[in-house]
Amino acid sequence: MELNNQPQPEVYSDKILDKTEGEGVEFVKQQHQIQIEDPDSWQNEESNHNFILASADALINWSRSSSVWPVNAGLACCAFEMISTASSRFDISRFGMEIFRPSPRQADLLIVNGTLTWKMAPQLKRIYEQMAEPKYVIAMGSCAISGGLFRNSYAVVPGVNKIIPVDVYIPGCPPRPEALLYGIQMLHKKIKKQRNFEKRKSA
Amino acid sequence: MALKTETFLVNAGPQHPSTHGVFRMRFILDGEVIQDVEPVFGYLHRGIEKLAEGLTYSQDMVFTDRLDYLASMTNNQAYAVAVEKLAGIQVPERAEYLRVIMAELMRISSHLMGVGFLTNDIGAFLTPLLYMYREREKILDLFDMVCGQRLTYNYMRIGGVSQDIPEEFLPALKKFTDTLPRFIEEYEQLLATNEILLVRTKNVGILTKEAAINYSTAGPVLRASGVKWDIRKAEPYSVYNRFNFEIPTATKGDVYDRYRIKIEEMKQSIIIIKQAMEQLPQGEIQAKVPKVLRPPKGEAYGRIEGPKGELGFYLVSDGATNPYRLHIRPPSLLNLTPLRELVIGVKIADAMAIFGSIDICMGEVDR
Amino acid sequence: MTVELQATEVAAKLEAAFPGCTIESSGNTIVIKDEFALKAATFLKNAAGLDFNYLNFLTATDYQTYFEVIYDLVSLEHNHKLVLKIKLNNREKPELASVTGVWKGADFQEREIFDLFGINFTGHPNLKRIFLWEGFQGYPLRKDFKQ
């Protein structure tokens, strides 16, 4: 893009932007071929909290689970079932999730819906890293769980859990809004079991 | 003291509330006026054309649902028309009428979403969209009654449709088409004379007639610029030559005209559905097609008028069970070609309105 | 009703204008030599009575020994259509002239063919990969592509 016959500053040149993006994609593709473990192992351990810490825990977990704010990484068809869940028939604001934040820095739930391609993978990892702790991830639809119908393709990531750790999986193609609401209730149950006054074992 | 200004680069990135899906635009701005834009695609490229060579003809029907995921019925119909042209299969009458009813209902649903998201981008955040979602949920209930799915139907088969309609479908459809005109009037009251909408959409993003033809646009974008071209009248497929309906066109080609055309097309679709309901005959719903279809050697191009434009499938067969080459003519990608010319020289807020009025769906652009 | 033109008549007009350009013509398809791509496109768009001002689609196929590029042309005024095919025999470095000067709608479609098949279009204003990322090795829609 040359404007007024003046050469653009180097950082805006198309070739360099495309080349850095391509290198980022190849880097992610080589690093992320193995599945990341689901962050579930803490649920089976014994808790040695006393009464005060346990009731403080219950209060904090109740307030966290009642107002989870999602950011939507709406990639493909499943995004429209999520928008249907958020509109007036299957109301999602009765579960506290009315506000969909456009910016990941103000959200604590990432709902990945739709097929993830290798070209989009670095951007999704960036969105996940920009969110503040505590953060949760829901993989919605069969394309996000395992690549779905497009698993054998040359450009599709076979499952979002190769890039980011996932808490709840919701199968379906696309899952009905009632299924998404059931998955959100499972996430609330998981949040209510958290222990907030212990050191985290792993990152 | 001499002031110096510089241009800077702003990225409307793949994750954005206003871009309809994963679409990236790199703007070079001087203040708020756009000097140049470069659209970047490919964030949803799944390789459907290559995957389709590994499955049989009837198995490929499931890929067509996911192309333009807001209008799955018309995608299925386009693929079925193309394969039937290649293999020389005749579809029974009742199946043709059912296909027409489903396609016109799909057109109403897709235009409701198109208008709703356009007003969403302009600034009426969610109010008209939720009103239009109310009607769309009724249409999705009708589809749920017929084939059990809300978004990706896979209802049509090569040679007909897969299931017959249950008995409660026709009374529910009659009730829907009787009440829909009143709701469209309600939208007109909300939007048509609204000052803010008129100021933000009139004379914005004008696409002239010669430019629209040269850029290979189709559908409401072409008709809003003054060209009366609709595949249902130019090369009638299925039983469209038995219905009386009109094709709305406009003269100027700005954002307001494209919005206006979608509302008028919804009214014409209701007229077609009423005529199809009256003429619906009894009979079979699927032709006799062999279980494993091997069309003769050759090639064919079948096309229909989808809600976003002309959707066509180009098929090459070499006598085997899988297609040798499947190519999809994507209306959304070709309607996006004049974006650069339309957007240079306007402010960023107008660029989002222009982009919303072209009404694309990323599954079809990237395939 | 869209009429499919008899390709032999149109081929006769093309031969009269540019001798030696058509290889064969049958049904509604004309096959021409690749040097005459741009000249034939300009002639078909501007000739009186033909007026092919709308490029419907542009795609390519890989038949293992040669590539074939297909142009589907429509005239909105007279409501008739024609299919134009060009065969490219060079599998190492296939090249063809770009028609973006004639029909601007060919812009993204030629970039797609370059991305997925590797056919180079000379004279295109911005020829680079459109769907896959820079640094992707190979051209996926060729029949000999291995993942």
Residue C111 pLDDT exceeds 60: yes
Nearest residue on chain B to C102, judged by CA atoms?
A: B214
| pLDDT at residue B335 is higher than 80 | yes
Quote the number of domains for chain B. Answer: 1
Considering the domain boundaries, does residue B22 fall inside one?
A: no
Residue A91 lies in a domain: yes
Range of the domain at A88: 69-192
Residue A24 lies in a domain: no
pLDDT score for A203: 46
Q: Is residue A119 assigned to a domain?
A: yes
Q: How far apart are CA B362 and CA A120, in angstroms?
A: 13
pLDDT in tens, B101-118: 999 999 999 999 999 999
Is pLDDT above 90 for C110? yes
Does the pLDDT of residue B81 top 90, yes or no?
Answer: yes
Where helices occur in C3-132 by DSSP H, the ranges are 7-17, 37-46, 106-116
Q: Per-residue pLDDT for B197 more than 60?
A: yes
Helix (H) or strand (E) holding B196: helix B195-201
Confidence of residue B264 (pLDDT cuts 50, 70, 90): very high
Report how far residue B233's alpha carbon sits from residue C79's, in angstroms, rounded to the nearest whole number. 11
Q: Is A81 in contact with B133 (Cβ distance < 8 A)? A: no
Q: Is residue B16 one of the residues assigned to a domain?
A: no
Does a structural domain hold residue B35? no
Q: Pick C54's closest partner by Cβ from B49, B50, B216.
A: B216
Mean pLDDT, range B298-311, rounded to an integer: 92
pLDDT higher than threshold 80 for residue B188: yes
For the residues B203-216, what does the mean pLDDT come to? 90
B26-33 long-range contacts (CB < 8 A, ≥24 apart) are: B26/A17, B27/B348, B27/B351, B28/A1, B28/A3, B28/A12, B29/B348, B30/B5, B31/B5, B32/B347, B32/B348, B33/B345, B33/B346, B33/B347
Residue A131: pLDDT band by 50, 70, 90 thresholds? very high
CB contact under 8 A, A118 and C133: yes
Question: Quick one: average pLDDT of A127-133?
Answer: 91
pLDDT of residue A103: 87
Structurally, chain A folds into a number of domains equal to 1
Q: Which of A35-39, C102-106, C120-124 has the lowest mean pLDDT?
A: A35-39
- Domain of residue A133, CATH code: 3.40.50.12280
Cβ of residue A19 closer than 8 Å to a chain C Cβ: yes
Chain B, residues 22-61, CB within 8 A of chain A, namely 22, 26, 28, 35-36, 38, 42-48, 50-51, 54
Mean pLDDT of chain A: 84
Q: Answer yes or no: is A58 within a domain.
A: no
The pLDDT score that the predictor gives to residue B1 is: 67
Question: Is B238 inside any structural domain?
Answer: yes
In a domain, A21, yes or no: no
Q: Where are the alpha helices (DSSP H) in chain A?
A: 14-31, 51-66, 78-86, 121-130, 142-146, 177-192
pLDDT of B3-45, one tens digit each? 777 888 888 888 887 778 888 988 888 888 898 898 988 899 9
Which member of A88, A119, A153 has the closest CB to residue B42?
A: A119
Q: What is the pLDDT of residue B124?
A: 83
A200 pLDDT higher than 80: no
Q: What is the pLDDT of residue C77?
A: 86
Compute the mean pLDDT over every residue in chain C, rounded to the nearest whole number: 87
At C35 the pLDDT is 87
Q: Which residues of B touch C (CB under 8 A)?
A: 41-42, 45, 47, 49-50, 213-217, 227, 229, 234-236, 301, 310, 312, 314, 316, 324-325, 327, 329, 333-334, 336-338, 366
| Cα of A151 to nearest chain C Cα, Å | 13
Residue B113 lies in a domain: yes
Token reading at A112 = 């990945």
User: Is residue B289 predicted with pLDDT exceeding 80?
Assistant: yes
Residue B191 pLDDT class (50, 70, 90 cuts)? confident
Which DSSP string corresponds to B213-239? HHTT--THHHHHTT----HHHHS--TT
Q: How far apart are CA B270 and CA B282, in angstroms?
A: 22
pLDDT score at A2: 46
Chain B 115-144, CB below 8 Å of chain A: which residues? Answer: 129-130, 133-134, 137
pLDDT of residue A87: 86
- Superfamily per CATH, domain C3-93: NADH:ubiquinone oxidoreductase Nqo5 subunit (3.30.460.80)
Q: Does residue A2 lie in a domain region?
A: no
- Is pLDDT at A202 greater than 60 in this prediction? no
pLDDT value of position A1: 47
| A8, pLDDT greater than 70 | no
Residue A47 has pLDDT above 70, yes or no: no
Q: For C16-27, how does the pLDDT look when each residue is reduced to its tens digit (9 = 90+)?
A: 888 878 888 888
Residue B12: inside a domain:
no
In a domain, A201, yes or no: no
Residue A198 has pLDDT above 60, yes or no: yes
State the CATH number of the domain containing residue B121. 1.10.645.10
The complex's ipTM works out to: 0.92
- The kind and range of the H/E element at B255 are helix B255-279
